[in-house]
Structure 1
């Protein structure tokens, strides 16, 4: 979660080492920045609201996580689950509602199942990123109900390299955020074959921060028990009754206090009753000598005295606990490139081991102890709080091809395939709690229509098959399988001043869970039946853009999206250590539906761009992890997946100015603002009690400014972001201020 305001000065000079087969001096800009190529023709259809991030922008803005890298774009924020895990949040929607893809094919992104499972990516290997805000549902299915992020990489090169061998080697270091090395090499083999090799390595120790790692509310004597559980603190307190309010002492308690069958204590002595019923008769109660008559109305009957507040596990001021990270990535590929046909294969591997700034309770293994007299007995292990760690490994085998016949009404046909095997593990210190072994196969075919005078389009189909096997002593998911089949078409009519878009997609989604040894079904509303579920989903989008003049335009769109509940929403059960909750799914949940209206006005003249966007989304059967008001041992709040209607609306604005003063001097200025509200419109009594008028954990309204100057081969950039005080808070956030607790660590100033 962002702080109330945050100053991020980004001052840097980048120096790159380059290797070439020739001794001729090289232009670093031309060789360091690969040309961005069109992976597919999605970009040729200007659908609704999509954003393209170039390779050059990524080189300037890349961070430790994908969410943080893109967090300075209006409408997009970082989920922030510690400095090493951050997923993309689009207009308050994240996790299973934002699809992450690689060249149009779905990746094994498990951040929707557990937000600590970060997607490890090699930013230096990316040619660019396409961000689809409210327009990815037709192209990519229901999991893009909130949006989609398409990573376009260079693992399989799709054009000839500028030289027989070219590329860069880079080394970076930071006093706080660690060290990184990377390389990216590209070359040609003969006239038709090209190759690519790249990789990166990054690590950091525990991160230094100013002040405490927990917000002051964690040590406030007024802290309630739910907040104390989330903040992972022990509160030792004593409740003292105000005995001066009670006029009498119970004669019954006086006579029966020593009788064990009544289990009475001195706390039961004081009463407002004049008489007691003792042994079949009423008797007068003696007067309380401490009683003071005439006290003001509302005088409390008891006072709670907090004696101490201590952390479950020791934390050190100035150091974010368990914030270490180590990751690496390797990508290799080769391709055949000709005028009408491209085909290539590639391999991509990523690895990450990093800490989560939180702790979980674990009972250590016991041991057998033998005394001198030969008597042997078993000693139980100690229960201690240990840090939570995460390890992610992924291996992908890729095939991409494109045929461009240029006749028969077809411009291009693409057939892509990916097999991915990934293992994501959650540890309590070094003890394995959960392990997800996921295998995924994705096939996608796209066909570009031959552009007519007014019409162009894109149609296709995709299939995704995923199997997840779960192991570990603290499993919260059963073994499961998912099958997703989709077919889609997207068409555009373009006239001189008007563009009209329309698209439709149909999906079949199947979820299956298998009850295997080691998994205990959910104790939630569904009772853990693990029923098979099939969902038929329909996606629809339409839009129009009118160019009012050469410099101004108006755009409007409407979309209908449907999403099937994911495996954790249907089948989860038991303690989920990474989010410090007991998570319970419900296999009776229905599909989620979003209906969005969006309006935008824009201006573009001589390097100056201005835009203002307003949107409104009605979410039927919105899926959310609801509070039950209960907690169990170890500080685990009990939550259940439920559904209820929600309204989402907001505003976004952006200004950008780019001016080239000369061949060697360039200046960029930018600013943005966004506001989002996620409103409870269900009228559901349980939801009103648990969440209130707004959903918790919403992104904070914010604005920002940026400036950059480029002079020859040097660049200077600065950015300022301010997060406003949250006005629209869920009930749990308002009462317990969850966003200020241990999972909300910041890399800068925490001003609350």
Structure 2
């Protein structure tokens, strides 16, 4: 157990890490953190996972949050549901949330290591797989199961849901899910804009911190204004002939008399004169482009709905399951306006940004045991995903992007040959992107990828070894559309690109006596640039950038080394992991040093060698209290640094060694008590002030650290003489200290803090 079960505690909704030994994960070294869905306040997928060491949420406001694994996210972290990718616009634009059902998703598996052998280049930084609960992979224990969920939020969302399973106990099992979440707005403890938006807008060294001004959505500039108190006399001639004046300075003089056209004028004293004052003074203009709300987070409304049905047919040697899933979201992006208007514009005309998401997914999953000689199982997954994600400027459409994705994967697990087990996999994916609206920054494209991979594991008893290899072909084809690149574009004419990728990994785990264990893992992974990195052009308002792609970019390569030490004794468990990821051709948005219309910084996709390194420590102590139940005390700490290797002068000057919005280091503690139907959880996580700062010409301004304290208490009840098999009631609270919490890795940290103190009460009833 020591050699195969690294631990991750101190998370409110994290159970012991679980090793999933399935057809698609045969190796004990290829471990994942299994996060059970027991937390009531899960708003986003990133929020559900942010208490796992090494994982934070992108926190693009309270309504959009993606997992950030060891500083990596977007196209580097593969997001899956029931083993099939659901990456879409959410990978390319931070304000687009990942469609996610917070009520009925069973659990989420997180692989914090490179998972490119299993899931391709988009898993170069890890993978996240949501178990939707929609597919029965074994016959349910009860013939009928109906669950009703009601939740009332106080500075949190209201939610209602229904989940039902009915089966014949032999061949058929069908699941039905419906859920709804809604909130009008979130309250915050102070102002929506951070204090540094005023105190550090004008550095002591002079000038304006333009990066901070744009991030705070401020109009900031310095005017040199004539000081009327600097000269002792008023020019009498100019007083009598004001049309001759070129400005205020023309009306004042140092001379008691003046001669104009051979006539002498006696200049009266200047009553405002202050000896020794300078002729000009600075007038610092500090004006909000978007409102600075107090107590309320403006434009933070959200509404989500989910309907799904899945049915499984079981037979002697396996099962076949089909499912239909539709999710819809409509929410505001708080404190943020696409119209980062030019100086002097009427900012009262700025319109709030809204996001509308509609997603339909059709899936088939089948497993056959003993399909042919020497084969233990065959598994087939096929899906079709239609996702439309759009941004709204007020009521008007800014853009809509439709992602139509078809996927198929076949996994063949061979029979165990002594200590050797493994699988062969084939996968294919095609994705069509179609855009519409006046604010387009991506062309219409088709992306196809095909892959062959193999994974093998050797169990030697005292140690386990594994290896895997994947070959993948990725092709991006430009489709005809009305998309036009900007005059600043790097690409003169958009062209098709193709990439041939090879990834492999090696690993070993061993028991070191009765108390200790160790794991070592090495992976070499490749990722093809995505469509935004290759072809983006024009204003991308959700990242407040004039984004320009470069179709000559090369594939990224990461070489990852990871070492884990394990210790367990009498209920105490400790896991410590250190890692180094060496990237060649790491892709990033580099600042050109210029701004375009509406003061948007002009940035180009570039590449440089980069090193990502850090550590994670998790500890837990289980205490049995006899008749008083059991107590689990846990703690964690993590730190990550993402730093360019030998940056050139332009990178060092404009972007710095570290990229902006990197996750900060954290320290957390958690107490979980369980006894006779009672559960109580109390957690505290301290987010430190960021020390590793990036630049956008001006240096990034760090914000103060903060502590998030949450709790949840639940009680399972049995009601005699009622139709309910059981009722669970709960109360939960978040941000109990009502902190002004601004995650450093959030692009909106200067204008939108996390919600203030909030509570939720609710119940779930089973029939």
Give the whole-Å Cα distance in 1 for the aligned partners of 2:138 and 2:503. 34
In the TM superposition, residue 576 of structure 1 has moved relative to its aligned partner by 1.3
Please give the TM-score of this superposition, normalised by the length of structure 2: 0.80
The answer to whether the 8 Å contact 2:290/2:335 transfers is no
Q: Deviations over 1:206-229 (max 9, x none)?
A: 100100001112223515233222
Distance 2:278 2:606 in 1: 38
Give yes or no for the alignment of 1:93 onto 2:93.
no
The change in CA–CA distance for 1:666 and 1:626 in structure 2 (over 3 A counts) is same
Task: Give the secondary-structure state (helix, strand or coil) at the position aligned to 1:123.
Answer: coil
Number of residue equivalences: 659
| Contact kept? 2:39, 2:48, Cα under 8 Å | no
DSSP 3-state at the match of 1:218: helix
d(CA) in 2 for partners of 1:556 and 1:151? Answer: 26
**4+ residue stretches of structure 1 with deviation over 6 A?**
8-11, 36-39, 241-245, 264-268, 299-302, 380-383
Q: Using the alignment, how far apart are the partners of 2:20 and 2:162 within structure 1?
A: 23
Structure 2 CA distance for aligned equivalents of residues 333 and 558 of structure 1: 38
CA distance in 1, matches of 2:606, 2:157: 41
8 A Cα contact 2:423 2:456, kept in partner: yes
Is 1:51 aligned to residue 33 of structure 2?
yes
Determine the structure 1 residue equivalent to 2:363. Answer: 398
Q: How does 1:317-336 map to 2 (within 5 A)?
A: 317-336=294-313
In the TM superposition, 1:141-540 aligns within 5 A as 141-189=120-168, 191-220=170-199, 222=202, 223-235=208-220, 237-240=222-225, 303-306=281-284, 308-360=285-337, 384-405=349-370, 408-517=373-482, 519-524=483-488, 526-540=490-504
**CA-to-partner distance for each residue in 1:576-602, whole Å, 9 max, x for gaps?**
122222111111111111111111101
1:251-275 CA distance string (max 9 Å, x none): xxxxxxx99xxxx99999xxxxxxx
Q: Which residue of 2 aligns with 1:558?
A: 522
Matches of 1:96 and 1:89 in 2, distance apart?
11
How far apart, CA to CA, are the structure 2 residues paired with 1:680 and 1:409? 48
Instruction: Determine the C-alpha separation between the residues in 2 that align with 1:385 and 1:397.
Output: 39
Deviation string 1:181-227 (CA, Å, 9 cap, x unpaired) is: 12221121362111111121001111001000011122235152332
C-alpha distance 98-382 of structure 1, shift in aligned 2 (>3 A) = closer
- Would you say the 8 A contact 2:364–2:383 is kept in 1? yes
Q: What aligned pairs does 1:736-747 form with structure 2 within 5 A after superposition?
A: 736-737=701-702, 739=744, 741-747=749-755
1:688-707 equivalences under 5 Å are 688-707=652-671
CA-based RMSD: 3.3
| Compared CA separation, residues 524 and 566, structure 1 to 2 (3 A) | farther
Secondary structure in structure 1 of the residue aligned to 2:373: coil
1:102 equivalent to 2:66? Answer no
Distance 2:346 2:194 in 1: 32
Q: 1:65 to 1:382 in 2, by over 3 A?
A: closer
Task: Decide which moves more: 546-555 or 725-734.
Answer: 725-734
Q: CA deviation at 1:138?
A: 0.4
- The equivalent residue for 1:670 is 634
Instruction: Quote the Cα distance in structure 2 between the aligned partners of 1:388 and 1:468.
Output: 22
Partner of 1:718: 682
Structure 2 residue matching 1:228: 3-state secondary structure: helix
How far apart are the structure 1 equivalents of 2:358 and 2:633? 39
Do 1:37 and 1:127's aligned partners in 2 also have CA atoms closer than 8 Å?
A: no
Summarize the Cα distance change of 1:44–1:606 in structure 2 as closer, same or farther, 3 Å threshold.
Answer: farther
Give the Cα separation in 1 of the matches to 2:394 and 2:603: 25
CA contact (8 A) 1:136 1:147 kept: yes
Question: 1:42 and 2:24 equivalent?
Answer: yes
Counterpart CA distance in 2 for 1:550 and 1:338 is 43
**Contact 1:9/1:720 (8 A) holds in 2:** no
Judge conservation of contact 1:356–1:578 (CA < 8 Å) in 2.
Answer: no
Distance 1:208 1:363 in 2: 24
Q: CA 1:407–1:469 in 2, change beyond 3 Å: closer, same or farther?
A: closer
